[in-house]
Amino acid sequence: MTEAKTPRISAPKPHRLNKGEPPQSAADTVVVGNNTRTGSDSQLVDINFKIPAELRKDFRLFCATHEVSQVSAFKEALIDYMKKKGWTPSK
């Protein structure tokens, strides 16, 4: 018995026109342990939690009734709660 041979296809290897930037040296790269930057107070960040719709409605109604912004009311409430639990807030 003879085995069937598959035809060999030869195609030229594609060439890259742009090889990009050369690799950076170890001195130029950022080491994972050196990342000591924190967000500044002027930047807003997401605190990543959800609340029930009824609580959101009550909170918004409270803020509108007392003419206070939702952000300042949340900050003040959180600071008061932290103090009540014995935690000194940073700001």
More confident residue, 23 or 79: 79
Contacts 24+ apart (CB under 8 A), 87-91: 91/41
Helix intervals (H) in 4-69: 53-65
- So what's the pLDDT on residue 2? 63
Using an 8 Å Cβ cutoff, are 57 and 50 in contact?
no
pLDDT tens digits, one per residue of 25-76? 656 656 555 555 665 666 778 888 899 999 999 999 999 999 999 999 999 9
Q: Which pTM does this prediction carry?
A: 0.51
